[in-house]
Structure 1
Amino acid sequence: MELLPQSREALDEYVTPSVDDVEGLLRVIEGWAVRTVPECVALSVTLLDDDLTFTLVDTDAGAERPVDPAGDTAPRPDADFALDERGWAEMARERAFAGIASTVCLPVVEEGRAVLNIDLYASTAHAFHDRIDGLVAALGAWQAGAVTNADLGFETLRRAEEAPERLRMQRLVDVAVGLVAARVGVTTDAAAGLLTQAADRAGVSESQAATVARVLLA
């Protein structure tokens, strides 16, 4: 499977003490998934604390090429198009949509709290039948929380595409929190609370409030 370009961009910028090697985690999950479910054509991992999703897509194995209204198979994008980030993502989306026939979402729980969601996508309707127990055991997931066929529209792909922008906004918020903490003389946790309250009162997003705070305090 190939890492979505936006996931590569986000991974290059992502730093967290909670997961040392996100790409390594993705590749381990990929290995377990394709061994247990050979029809698996895509997977996404969502870090719930950070609200970030990273996605791997197989644009060939098990995925059908889109069909045009006349019934002919759509032409394969040329090499230049496929190497373009936006073109690659569009191609991945089209082929994945055409190839996804079943899905399963497996939460991973630590100390009674869900920390990860693992979403797997397969090219056949019954790919996960009688295989969820094996996946749960291999991935350390919570079996009672497993949900099948809830994301046939591949919503996690959209969230993965948004990950780089989410990280940029979070850095902006972090800068604003630091500025507020230094100016007002409070802890960063208290400054974050002040920023959130200000955003709520103003009816704007936290990232917009961060921009305003940084400009005012500069």
Structure 2
Amino acid sequence: MELLPQSREALDEYVTPSIDDVEVLLRVIEGWAVRAVPDCVALSVTLLDEDLTFTLVDHEATRRAADRDTSEDGAEAGGDVYALDERGWAEMARERAFAGIASTVSLPVVEHGRAVLNIDLYASTASAFHDRIEGLVEALGAWQAGAVTNADLGFETLRRAEEAPERLREQRLVDVAVGLVAARMAVTTEEAAVMLRDAAARAGVSETQAASVAQALLA
């Protein structure tokens, strides 16, 4: 599997040292997953505290499955072709790229009674995870009672992974603004963070927008 470009960008440029072993974690999970589920074609790991998602995809496997499914659908529909505008073609291309995902399983990882990670696995066949979830739970250290199947056939974690670099940029902007407010007002960073959130709420803007204004005024 290949690391999503946005996941590579987030890992290389933005992730703090405390979580810079995420790629190692992804590769370890990949090894366990593909051994237990040969039809596994993608996986995502979400760091719940940071609300960041990182994704690996076997593009060739999903492409083959998508081509197969498209051929079957075309044969059943009699090969009808519909006119699409540029946006329509883009949407269809995105749908086809992961049409090969036929089953999913979401596995939370719990530490000290609190979920810290969510592992999402994606397979190209409908029965890929049948009778294998217990083994995956044991191998990945996940919480079996929290396992959910076929909840993300639309591959929503991909979209979240694509947003990771922007999320980290916004968080960096907020962190810098909080530091400036704390220094200027002689308060703790926790108090400064509350002040920034309150200011954003009063102004009816996002916390990121408020942080940008604070930086411009205080830097």
Q: Per the shorter chain, which TM-score range?
A: 0.7 to 0.9
Give the drift of 1:126: 1.1
Structure 1 gap ranges (5+): 73-89
Query: Partner residue of 1:104?
Result: 105
The question of whether the paired residues in 2 share the 8 Å contact of 1:42 and 1:96 is answered with no
Give the drift of 1:91: 11
Is residue 203 from structure 1 mapped to residue 190 from structure 2 by the alignment?
no
Opposite residue 113 of structure 2, the aligned amino acid is G
**Distance in 1 separating the partners of 2:44 and 2:97:** 12
Give the drift of 1:94: 4.6
Query: Partner residue of 1:8?
Result: 8
Alignment of 1:110-129 (within 5 A): 110-129=111-130
Q: Which secondary structure state, in structure 1, belongs to the residue aligned with residue 59 of structure 2?
A: coil
Alignment of 1:178-193 (within 5 A): 178-193=179-194
Q: Which moves more between the two structures, 197-206 or 26-35?
A: 197-206
The question of whether the paired residues in 1 share the 8 Å contact of 2:42 and 2:55 is answered with yes
Q: Is the alpha carbon distance of 1:120 and 1:93 closer, same or farther for their aligned partners in structure 2, counting shifts above 3 Å?
A: farther
Give the drift of 1:201: 1.7
Opposite residue 27 of structure 1, the aligned amino acid is R
Identity %: 82
Give the drift of 1:212: 0.8
Opposite residue 168 of structure 2, the aligned amino acid is L
Give the drift of 1:133: 0.3
Give the drift of 1:14: 3.3
**Distance in 2 separating the partners of 1:11 and 1:154:** 21
Query: Partner residue of 2:59?
Result: 59
Query: Partner residue of 1:30?
Result: 30
**Distance in 2 separating the partners of 1:37 and 1:20:** 27
Q: Which secondary structure state, in structure 1, belongs to the residue aligned with residue 104 of structure 2?
A: strand
Q: Is the alpha carbon distance of 1:20 and 1:164 closer, same or farther for their aligned partners in structure 2, counting shifts above 3 Å?
A: closer
**Distance in 1 separating the partners of 2:93 and 2:55:** 11
Q: Give the structure-2-normalised TM-score.
A: 0.85
Structure 2 gap ranges (5+): 80-90
Q: Give the structure-1-normalised TM-score.
A: 0.86
Deviations 1:55-113 (A, max 9, x none): 000012254234388668xxxxxxxxxxxxxxxxx999555521100000000001111
Q: Is the alpha carbon distance of 1:96 and 1:118 closer, same or farther for their aligned partners in structure 2, counting shifts above 3 Å?
A: farther
Query: Partner residue of 1:215?
Result: 216
Over 4 Å off, 4+ runs = 68-72, 90-96
Q: Which secondary structure state, in structure 1, belongs to the residue aligned with residue 154 of structure 2?
A: coil
**Distance in 2 separating the partners of 1:107 and 1:92:** 31
Q: Which secondary structure state, in structure 2, belongs to the residue aligned with residue 115 of structure 1?
A: strand
The alignment of Structure 1 onto Structure 2 pairs a total of residues equal to 201
**Distance in 1 separating the partners of 2:116 and 2:97:** 26
The question of whether the paired residues in 2 share the 8 Å contact of 1:59 and 1:95 is answered with no
* Larger Rg, first or second structure (1 or 2): 2
Opposite residue 97 of structure 1, the aligned amino acid is F
Q: Which secondary structure state, in structure 1, belongs to the residue aligned with residue 120 of structure 2?
A: strand
Opposite residue 22 of structure 1, the aligned amino acid is V
Opposite residue 40 of structure 2, the aligned amino acid is C
